[in-house]
Structure 1
Amino acid sequence: MTQTEPHSGKWLVLAAVCLAGIMMPLSFTAPGIAIPAISRDLGGSALALTWVVNGFILAFGSAVMAAGALADRFGRKRMFRNGIAAFGLLSLAQVFAPDLPSLIALRALQGVAAATAMAGGSASLAHAFDGKARTQAYSLLGTSFGVGLAFGPVWAGFLIEQFGWRAIFATSVLISVVVLAVGVPRMHESRDPGAKGVDVWGTVTFTGMLLLLTLGIMEGPQIGWTSPLVIGLLLGALALLAAFIQVERTHPRSMLDLSLFRNRRFLGAQALPFGTAFSFVVPLIILPIRFIGIEGYDPVRAGTMMIPLSAPMLVVPFLGALLTRWVSAAALCLTGFAISALALLWLALVPPGAPTGDFIWPLLLTGIGAGLPWGLMDDLAISVVPRERAGMATGFFATVRVAGESLSLAIVGAVLVGALQAGLATQLHGQPPLVPLANALAAADLPQAQALWPGVAHAQWLAIYGQAFQVMTLALAAMTALFGAVAYLTLRRAHAPQALAMPQPAVAQGNAGE
């Protein structure tokens, strides 16, 4: 936007992007609440059902960097508009999904649409705002994600209880229509006048690398870490990573500027989404499964139990951005991750069957800790690049964020399944089917576990699950602390996000009706 553009126009752009920002986490977290209901309706193994969540995350993470480059070339408004339209249509198709494979395929396509929308929308904010206003805009975007995260599980539980799991996807249809009708027509177009072509091979090699790595981590506990398939998947991921780096070094207009990795602040910003993935996103997905299957809560109560974890995202990201006036971004991030790590250690001590109140404070403190870096991440990542390449920076950071969430879910899932296999081997006599039993317990499907190995008391199943869940939660705490330390060491010279801004060249733009 130009300097003469009305002030209200900027905030209309922000409102449209933030409304989409509410919709995305809703479509991300709601299936976690819905998986037991989806299983009853469409069937499928515990491992297959995980792809209802993983398919969306992987597709988003694989496509968002290319979407950012396309937004720079073809226009941020255009990509945002097309992404929202596709997202709404795919949400409508999910309402009528006939079987589990169809639902998973639609979820993957929806992840691509979400990547297109958010890359275009977030880059539009970098174009519309500068300095402190940009910090506030991104903190409000983080808060809008918090709204979706805070109310998504409760809303999903209510819809599932009243109308069935398909109703959760109808919500995204309605929000998409509102954004297209009210927000998009008031947005102004912007693009990078120097953008050329699309980095096809970069997209292909990165997507393949992320897919093979995630599959390798997920298959490790299933068939053994030394199996030829798992080793082949991990080596294939490594080879594709090397190919991706080579492509980006030689492409005339690569979707990722590798010179950014010489910037410590940029590297530190990439550590932040990994920390929030382990401290916040993974518990947000896994805990509802425990609450429904192990604690015996109904979907509404399970969704309500997630409020202490997610509600801080309504206010803490914005408060964190305000605190950068007096406290460095590095110190705020370190403090937040330290709080989350300690809270996760506390959560690890809560056994299955514990009173509801025992979960409240650990979850609340985890959410508060994760909220501090949450509102700073986007601006820290984008402020180190010229504005005309904001789409590239937005796309890469969103890729790191979602790839971090995808990989963290795969890693933590592997830790949980591995711990369950160890506990089953120790506590059950005979030769129980360890892998199917561990998969059933990881999905908190106690009836399935009982059917696979009858004669085990309910209390013993809970004890096995509780010990494995404790191991998993300790791993979450350790990874949260690790990435918090990395972020602090690389960001500690950055006193506030607005101080990181570089001189911004002018950007070509179209008219508001484009």
Structure 2
Amino acid sequence: MVAVIQTEETRRDPRRWWALGALVASMLVLGFDMTILNVALPTMAEQLGATTGEQQWMADAYVVVFAALMLPAGLLGDRFGRRRMLIAGLVVFLAGSLLGALAGDVNVVIAARAVMGVGAALITPLAMSVLPSLFTPDEQGKAIGLVSTGSALGLPLGPIIGGWLLDHFWWGSVFLINVPMVAIGITACVLLLPETRDPASPRVDTLSTAFTVGGLGALIYAIIEAPDRGWGDPLLLAVFAGAAVLITGLVLRSRRVPRPMLDMTLLARRGFLLNTVAATLVMFVLSGLMFVLPPYLQAVLGNDTLGTGVRMLPMVLGLSVAAKLAPPVATRFGARATVSAGLVVLAFAALLGSRTTTVSGYGFTALWLTIAGLGFGFALVPSMTGALATLPRDRAGSGSGLLMTLRQVGSAIGIALLGSLLANVFRDRLDVTGLPAPAAHTAGDSVVAAHLIAQKTGSAHLAASANGAYVHGMGVVLLVCGVAALVSALLAAAFLPNTPVTRRTEREQAPAVAAPAGDAGQ
């Protein structure tokens, strides 16, 4: 009883909104760190000599580790204290950021991004799971919406922040910007967040964690390496088979243990499952788009890094408007209609963008980017809120970890699969006639590399061919994104629950999980 009273006192504490602000800032940092590197990749490719595959790994190392470790991270917070593990995650993220800022080699950058992924895996599910201990049921929807919006807004803000930094500082500054933001987050967590845990939470299963990390890592590795090795390469086929075996092993083990790390019972909740699938598909499309767009704006249209970031502002504006309007629209018309409409808008934007040519100019790009931002906001925010609202309080950490894991899996596969598709199309369309074999191979690595070879050889034809090949590849990627969004819209319209989640009472919302850690055993 004491635990409930203390929880209610915490919920009435006006400092809870300051704590929420710190959580939103943390999620904003994680969001733009998923994309801030994208605008830096052309610069880093030139200065570090990174191939397209290495650029994909610099982007994906963060996302893969992020996705693979979120399930055990959520359980660590449930078991050992959410505030404690959240602070630990912020410290690890800070260490990875410092390593990245000081790196001078592609492999060190990839390692730094992986360390940052470990920190992000701890931060994300725990930032969500502490909300029930801070806010009453009437406030939780708003709080979840704000945290989700912070995460979503960080994605398109990344290239803008990265562009400004690269225009004024060296490329390592895209890592260094995290330091003050994370320091503020750590301070706020220490001073403002109550400690909560779920003593009944299952232990972190080492074998399940190994299955998750190995399966996802193998899958993403095979997708990224396929353009260079070929999809029929025996090694890659073996890696794909290994990934399938490991992921199957995870599912089978989760069905056998009493309190599994991958809680299959949560996936049996129709509202959680379908909203999670919708959010995952949105992230697949968004991550692919954010990977292919900066090289187009920078290499093809000739903008500098800051100009590239600024030219992605229409997406931020569209997303900001939609994030503000989505909750009341979902309340008025239902989640099914809102999410489906957002996906249709997103599909239209991607299909419109696929019509881009080398002479389209930025005005056309700004138009479909604005529409894409609106679609993202209307699809992502209600689906995230709907999924999290179905979670029982005693599964807050593991449930939000599962949701975020699947979201990041969507992001990682989006970058890997769509990036590989772009690399294949670009290489096939690029005309390297007359170039020596080594130069031709280098030019096929990326549009940035092709422009560098064109400058060295004085070949205007190669530069024009590179622009045409890249725009064609981007159009193919956007076409795939549009079809994926349209199929997702049809699935959401057919299966997504349309009725709002019944608001739970205070008695139902206050099990021991909400108790401060010191009272957990009382």
Whole-angstrom distance in 2 between the partners of 1:296 and 1:341? 27
Shift of 1:403: 0.7
Q: Let me know the Cα RMSD of the aligned residues.
A: 2.7
* Equivalent in the alignment of 1:12: 18
Question: For 1:318 and 1:407, how far apart are their aligned partners in 2?
Answer: 28
Q: Taking structure 2 as the reference length, what is the TM-score of the superposition?
A: 0.91
**Matching residue of 1:142:** 148
Per mean C-alpha deviation after superposition, the further-off stretch among 260-269 and 300-309 is 260-269
Residue in 2 that maps onto 1:191: 197
Which amino acid in 2 is paired with 1:504? Answer: Q
Kept in 1: contact 2:53–2:224 (CA 8 A) = no
Q: How far apart are residue 201 of structure 1 and its match?
A: 1.1
- Find out whether 1:459 has 2:431 as its counterpart: no
Amino acid at match of 1:496: P
Query: Structure 1 residue aligned with 2:500, among 493, 496, 499?
Result: 496
**Residue 383 of structure 2, aligned match among 345, 355, 377:** 377
Which range moved further: 295-304 or 463-472?
463-472
Cα displacement string for residues 302-351 of structure 1 (whole angstroms, at most 9, x for unaligned residues): 00011111233334223211222211101100000100101111111121
Give the equivalent residue in structure 2 for 1:271.
Answer: 277
Q: Does 2:455 correspond to 1:477?
A: no
More off after superposition, 497-506 vs 399-408: 497-506
What amino acid is the match of 2:474? F
Map 1:190-209; keep pairs closer than 5 Å: 190-209=196-215
1:415 is the counterpart of 2:421: yes
Q: Which of the numbers 340, 358, 365 marks the counterpart of 2:346?
A: 340
- How far 1:498 moved relative to its partner? 5.6
Q: 1:294 aligns with which of 282, 297, 300?
A: 300
Instruction: Find the aligned partners of 1:216 and 1:454 in 2 and give their Cα distance.
Output: 34
Structure 1 length as normaliser, TM-score? 0.92
Residue 283 (1) aligns with residue 289 (2) = yes
**Contact between 1:33 and 1:299, CA under 8 Å: does it hold in 2?**
yes
Q: What do residues 116-149 of structure 1 show as CA deviations (whole Å, max 9, x unaligned)?
A: 0122111111443354422211111122224433
Question: 2:442·2:449 contact (CA, 8 Å) conserved in 1?
Answer: no
Question: 114-123 or 462-471: which moved more?
Answer: 462-471
**Residues 428, 292 of structure 1: alpha-carbon distance in 2 compared, 3 angstrom cutoff:** same
1:157 aligns with 163
Greater mean alpha carbon deviation, residues 287-296 or residues 260-269: 260-269
Residues 457 and 110 of structure 1: CA distance in aligned 2, closer, same or farther (over 3 Å): closer
The 5 A counterparts of 1:161-172 are 161-172=167-178
Alignment-mate amino acid for residue 486 of structure 1: L
> What residue in structure 2 maps to residue 395 of structure 1?
401
Question: Could you tell which deviates more after superposition, 48-57 or 362-371?
Answer: 48-57
Change (3 A) 1:478 1:501: farther
2:504 and 2:473 map into 1 onto residues whose CA distance is 43
Match of 1:231 in 2: 237
Aligned match of 1:93 in 99, 107, 124? 99
Give, in whole Å, the separation in 2 of the partners of 1:423 and 1:120: 46
**Cα distance change of structure 1 residues 451 and 254 upon mapping to structure 2, 3 Å threshold:** farther
1:429-482, CA deviations, whole angstroms, 9 ceiling, x for partnerless residues? Answer: 9997887554323x6742247879978443233222222221111011111112
1:71-110 equivalences in 2 (<5 Å)? 71-110=77-116
The letter for the 2-side match of 1:472 is: V
Q: Answer yes or no: is the 8 Å Cα contact 1:62–1:206 preserved in 2.
A: yes
Say whether the 8 Å CA contact 1:381–1:393 is kept in structure 2: no
2:333 counterpart SS class: coil
**Cα distance 1:16–1:513, how it changes in 2: closer, same or farther (>3 A)?**
farther
CA distance in 2: counterparts of 1:300 and 1:471, whole angstroms: 26
- 1:249 and 1:352, CA in 2 relative to 1: closer, same or farther beyond 3 A? same
Once residues 400 and 350 of structure 1 are traced to their aligned partners in structure 2, the CA distance between those partners, rounded to angstroms, is 31
Give the whole-Å Cα distance in 2 for the aligned partners of 1:258 and 1:27: 30
Secondary structure at 1:396 match in 2: helix
CA contact (8 A) 2:72 2:209 kept: yes
Equivalent in the alignment of 2:218: 212
Q: Distance in 2 between matches of 1:230 and 1:90?
A: 30
Q: CA deviation at 1:211?
A: 1.1
- Deviations along 1:9-53, one digit per CA (max 9) or x if unpaired, are 432331121110111122221111111222333333232122211
Structure 1 residues 17 and 226, CA, compared in 2 at 3 Å: closer, same or farther? Answer: same
- Asked if structure 2 preserves the Cα contact closer than 8 Å seen for 1:67 and 1:115, the reply is yes
Query: How is 1:64-75 mapped onto 2 (pairs within 5 angstroms)?
Result: 64-75=70-81
Are residues 449 and 25 of structure 1, via their aligned partners in 2, closer, same or farther at CA, if it must alter by over 3 Å? Answer: farther
| Separation of aligned partners in 1, 2:268 and 2:189 | 38
| Cα 1:406/1:501, change in 2 over 3 Å | farther
Q: CA deviation at 1:231?
A: 1.1
Cα offsets for 1:282-321 (capped at 9, x unmatched): 2223211221112111001000011111233334223211
The aligned residue for residue 305 of structure 1 is 311
Show the 5 A alignment for 1:55-70: 55-70=61-76
1:256 alignment partner in structure 2: 262
CA contact (8 A) 1:67 1:119 kept: yes
Distance 1:404 1:311, change over 3 A: same
Partners of 1:336 and 1:498 in 2: CA distance: 23
* Change over 3 Å in CA distance of 1:60–1:353 after alignment to 2: same
Distance change in 2, residues 1:349/1:272 (3 Å): same
- C-alpha distance 125-453 of structure 1, shift in aligned 2 (>3 A): farther
Greater mean deviation of Cα atoms: 30-39 or 497-506 = 497-506
Amino acid aligned to 1:494: N
**Offset of residue 229 of structure 1:** 1.2
Cα distance, 1:102 vs. partner?
1.2
Instruction: Give the C-alpha shift of residue 420 in structure 1.
Output: 2.5
Cα drift, residue 58 of structure 1: 0.6
Q: Once the two structures are superposed, what CA deviation does each residue of 1:366-414 show, in whole Å capped at 9, x if it has no partner?
A: 0101101222233322222310111011100110011100001111112
Name the counterpart of 2:3: none
Task: For 1:23 and 1:474, locate their aligned partners in 2 and report how far apart those are by CA, in whole Å.
Answer: 30
- Contact 2:63 / 2:411 at 8 angstroms: preserved in 1? yes
Q: Which ranges in structure 2 are unaligned for 5 or more consecutive residues?
A: 1-5
Distance in 2 (alpha carbons) for counterparts of 1:435 and 1:512: 62
Match of 2:499, SS? coil
Alignment partners' CA distance in 2, 1:8 and 1:513: 22
* Aligned partner of 1:34 among 34, 40, 48: 40
User: What is the percent sequence identity of the aligned residues?
Assistant: 25
Cα distance between partner residues in 1 of 2:505 and 2:459: 62
